[in-house]
């Protein structure tokens, strides 16, 4: 009953199930067996990228020497990149939206909930 | 009467101004997000969970419960007015509700949904209050072997009663269980699946998983869909109150829906989704009066029944969570996580060690339902306005909430990378037709299941027969096995697929 006991059991089960599912998907013909639809990269890429940009700008990457830029810049970056995921992109609209989000987040997270989040870049606040 | 004494204790806790305020905020936020199409209750709760970190446990749970009902109510509003289910349990509400809206009867449809839900919520709360103590007594007789078997039953039940491929659902559960095991093993201190990443030795945060798979996954899937032509019936919502005839038609449907929903909510894997589907099927089977509007053409029973059922189910699905500590569905799995964050170990001991929390939460459910009817019927105009906000403004805000929310969980950027990864995985699941809910359930149950398995085997000196020689445990396992067998029978299988087809 070591640390690997339960994971091993589960792993074996999952491997078996995976094999059966794969076999059924490849071999058995079903009426509604449609192909996996086209993978649409645009929303996936931009949403994930927006999220990663937000993290890098908010907290910085100490291992690579990237300084933290704070919440305000991070939110602008997130809104700009995330908005690209949609079918329509109007720069002016997105900037207004981002400004509203910055103001809203400042009030909610910094003023009301008093969370410890860096707001401005490190080199400004010192 | 114990029940009265307990409930009055609960109402004493819930009626403090501060808790009333949190219940109100929860209901408001829940409705706000629930009204937005494509964001279900799981994503809503995950997104708003960080907002409750600073609160005391009772207030936090009251607020979360409010968010959950709010999301349910909001979902039906969207279903009726836009023909887009805000969450999966209002899929069937779309069918007749939207037709009613098209005929200019959106008001009565919304009122039927609201009043039906309120009634169901009241009954559900009473059932919860009445059944919790005896079930808790039963739970105290459970040893580790029984708990392990109960979890097996719960997990099997969750996939059997869900829609979609059974094999894939089981595979998702196991994947979830495995993910739940990431981190330091409590017994030996060995780090498992951590790949020398220090953050992973603490395990994967459930907030990151839920936000990524449900929140980002849903956004990405929505954006990937071609933009549909949506017709929002905003101007036509007048004459909110149903006619006398409407009341006559909907009352029996509400009663049936409530009864069915309450029963199904207690079952593992049941809850709101199954309840609404079953109630719609039942209403369709029952012959209406001559001259009644056909189903699918705007029959008020088709709105009142499922809506009452899903609210009753939402209510009673708290029973297994609060008495046994076992979440019956993904929403409740999140509630387990929320309780753990607030240092409350869910299980039978909550009621005795934390009666204020237990009964306060139950009382607040009723208050939340009452608030929601006030919020939803007179204020319907505000929610309708919200529906006209274009999605391209909404989704960046949702992405932001998820990102900030997950960051504040541990104040670490590592969780932000995790959400990004799970968002990607969530979309992949969606593409492959893998339901993420069973995974979430497995994820929460993983560590509990392992601990109970080990304890049971330790007590029996490694003898596996302990699971079948103890009566209760054997019974639970037998029930789980029977469920699997029944579902695999060809005739039932066809019925099961049929039950989840909408029309």
- pLDDT confidence tier of residue A68, bands split at 50, 70 and 90: confident
Averaged pLDDT, A107-118: 80
Model's pTM, two decimal places?
Answer: 0.84
Residue A10 at interface with chain B, using a CB cutoff of 8 Å: yes
Query: Which among A3, A75, A115 has CB closest to B408?
Result: A115
Mutate to test the interface with B, among A47, A72, A74, A102 (most CBs of B within 10 A): A47
Output the pLDDT for position B419. Answer: 92
Mutate to test the interface with A, among B212, B221, B400, B451 (most CBs of A within 10 A): B400
Distance in Å, alpha carbon of B450 to nearest chain A alpha carbon: 6
Distance in Å, alpha carbon of A122 to nearest chain B alpha carbon: 16
Output the pLDDT for position B502. Answer: 46
Domain range summary for chain B, segments of one domain joined by +: 2-135+147-229+251-499
Question: Exposed e or buried b for every residue in B199-210, given b needs 16+ CB within 10 A?
Answer: bbbebbbbbbbb
Q: Is B2 exposed, middle or buried (0-12, 13-18, 19+ CB in 10 A)?
A: exposed
Residue A36 at interface with chain B, using a CB cutoff of 8 Å: yes
Query: Which among B402, B411, B413 has CB closest to A116?
Result: B411
Q: What are phi and psi of B183, to 5 degrees?
A: 120, -170
Output the pLDDT for position B283. Answer: 84
Contact state of A18 with B171 under an 8 Å Cβ cutoff: yes
Q: What is the pLDDT of residues B60-84, one digit of tens each?
A: 988 998 888 888 888 888 888 877 7
> How many helices (H) and strands (E) are present in chain A, helices listed first?
5, 0
Kindly report the number of other CB atoms within 10 A of residue B215's CB atom: 29
- Using CA atoms, how far apart are residues B43 and B213, in angstroms rounded to an integer? 9
How far, CA to CA in Å, does A126 sit from each of A60, A65, A122? 15, 16, 6
For A20, which residue in chain B has the nearest alpha carbon? B167
Query: Any long-range contacts for B190-197 (C-beta under 8 Å, 24+ apart)?
Result: B190/A2, B190/A3, B192/A3, B192/A4, B192/A7, B193/A7
Domain range summary for chain A, segments of one domain joined by +: 1-31, 41-125
Q: Are B97 and B112 in contact (CB under 8 A)?
A: no
Q: Are B300 and B161 in contact (CB under 8 A)?
A: no
For B53, which residue in chain A has the nearest alpha carbon? A113
Count of residues making up chain A: 126
Contact state of A47 with B417 under an 8 Å Cβ cutoff: no
Output the pLDDT for position B363. Answer: 87
For A45, which residue in chain B has the nearest alpha carbon? B424
Q: Are B210 and B405 in contact (CB under 8 A)?
A: no
Contact state of A94 with B396 under an 8 Å Cβ cutoff: yes
Residue A126 at interface with chain B, using a CB cutoff of 8 Å: no
Contact state of A82 with B399 under an 8 Å Cβ cutoff: yes
Residue A15 at interface with chain B, using a CB cutoff of 8 Å: no
Q: Which residues contact B108 (CB under 8 A, 6 or more apart)?
A: B100, B239, B240, B241, B242, B243, B246, B300
Q: Which residues contact B55 (CB under 8 A, 6 or more apart)?
A: B22, B63
- Using CA atoms, how far apart are residues B44 and B52, in angstroms rounded to an integer? 13
Q: What share of chain A has pLDDT > 70, as a percent?
A: 90
Contact state of B392 with A43 under an 8 Å Cβ cutoff: no
Output the pLDDT for position A80. Answer: 92
- Residues of chain B in contact with residue A87, where contact means CB-CB under 8 angstroms, are 223, 227, 392
For A50, which residue in chain B has the nearest alpha carbon? B399
Distance in Å, alpha carbon of B298 to nearest chain A alpha carbon: 30
- Using CA atoms, how far apart are residues A15 and B215, in angstroms rounded to an integer? 28
For B186, which residue in chain A has the nearest alpha carbon? A3
Output the pLDDT for position B503. Answer: 42
Among the listed residues B460, B486, B485, the one whose alpha carbon sits nearest the alpha carbon of residue B473? B460
Residue located via tokens 């305000």: A72
Kindly give the parts of chain B with pLDDT less than 50: 502-503
Contact state of A48 with B420 under an 8 Å Cβ cutoff: yes
- Using CA atoms, how far apart are residues B433 and B426, in angstroms rounded to an integer? 11
Output the pLDDT for position A13. Answer: 94
Output the pLDDT for position A3. Answer: 83
């Amino acid at each position: 009953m070591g640390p690997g006991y339960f994971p091993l059991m589960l792993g074996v089960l999952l491997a078996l199930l995976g094999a059966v599912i794969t076999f059924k998907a490849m071999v058995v013909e079903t009426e509604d067996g449609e192909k996996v639809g086209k993978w649409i990269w645009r929303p996936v890429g931009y949403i994930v990228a927006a999220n990663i940009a937000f993290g890098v700008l908010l907290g910085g990457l100490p291992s690579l020497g990237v300084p933290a830029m704070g919440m305000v810049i991070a939110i602008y970056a997130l809104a700009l990149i995330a908005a690209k995921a949609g079918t329509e992109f109007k720069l002016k609209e997105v900037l207004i939206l981002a400004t509203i989000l910055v103001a809203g987040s400042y009030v909610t997270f910094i003023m009301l909930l008093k969370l410890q989040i860096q707001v401005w870049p490190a080199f400004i606040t010192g | 009467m114990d029940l009265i004494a307990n409930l009055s204790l609960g109402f004493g806790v819930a009626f403090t101004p501060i808790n009333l305020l949190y219940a109100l905020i929860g209901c408001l936020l829940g409705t706000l997000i629930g009204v937005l199409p494509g964001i279900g209750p799981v994503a809503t709760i995950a997104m708003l969970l960080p907002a409750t970190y600073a609160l005391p446990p009772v207030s936090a749970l009251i607020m979360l419960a409010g968010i959950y009902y709010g999301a349910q109510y909001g979902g039906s509003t969207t279903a009726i007015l836009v023909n887009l289910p805000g969450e999966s349990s209002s899929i069937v509400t779309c069918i007749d509700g939207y037709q009613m809206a098209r005929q200019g009867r959106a008001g009565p449809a919304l009122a039927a949904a609201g009043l039906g839900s309120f009634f169901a919520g009241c009954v559900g709360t009473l059932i919860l209050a009445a059944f919790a103590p005896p079930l808790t007594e039963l739970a105290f007789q459970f040893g580790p072997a029984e708990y392990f078997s109960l979890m097996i039953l719960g997990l099997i039940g969750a996939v059997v009663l869900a829609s979609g491929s059974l094999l894939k659902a089981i595979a998702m559960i196991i994947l979830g269980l495995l993910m739940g095991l990431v981190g330091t093993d409590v017994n030996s201190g060995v780090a498992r699946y951590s790949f020398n990443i220090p953050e992973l030795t603490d395990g994967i945060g459930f907030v990151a998983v839920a936000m990524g798979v449900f929140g980002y996954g849903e956004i990405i899937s929505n954006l990937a869909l071609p933009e549909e032509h949506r017709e929002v019936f905003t101007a036509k919502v007048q004459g909110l109150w149903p006619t006398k005839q409407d009341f006559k038609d909907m009352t029996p449907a509400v009663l049936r829906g409530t009864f069915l929903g309450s029963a199904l909510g207690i079952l593992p894997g049941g809850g709101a989704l199954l309840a609404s589907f079953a109630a719609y099927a039942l209403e369709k089977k029952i012959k209406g009066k001559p001259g009644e509007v056909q189903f699918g053409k705007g029959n008020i029973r088709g709105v009142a029944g499922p809506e009452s059922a899903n609210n009753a189910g939402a209510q009673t699905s708290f029973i297994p969570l609060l008495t046994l500590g076992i979440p019956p569905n993904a929403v409740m799995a999140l509630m387990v996580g929320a309780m753990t964050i607030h240092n409350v170990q869910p299980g039978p001991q909550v009621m005795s060690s934390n009666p204020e929390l237990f009964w306060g939460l139950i009382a607040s459910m009723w208050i939340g339902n009452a608030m929601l009817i006030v919020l939803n019927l007179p204020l319907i105009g505000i929610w309708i306005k919200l529906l006209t906000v274009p999605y391209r403004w909404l989704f960046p805000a949702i992405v932001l909430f998820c990102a900030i929310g997950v960051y504040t969980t541990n104040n670490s950027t590592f969780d932000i990378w995790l959400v990004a990864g799970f968002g990607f995985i969530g979309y992949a699941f969606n593409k492959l037709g893998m339901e993420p809910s069973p995974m979430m359930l497995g994820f929460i149950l993983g560590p509990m299941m392992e601990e109970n398995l080990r304890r049971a085997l330790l007590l029996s000196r490694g003898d596996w027969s302990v699971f079948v020689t103890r009566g209760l445990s054997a019974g639970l396992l037998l029930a789980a096995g029977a469920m699997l067998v029944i579902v695999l029978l060809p005739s039932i299988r066809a019925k099961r697929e049929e039950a989840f087809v909408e029309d």
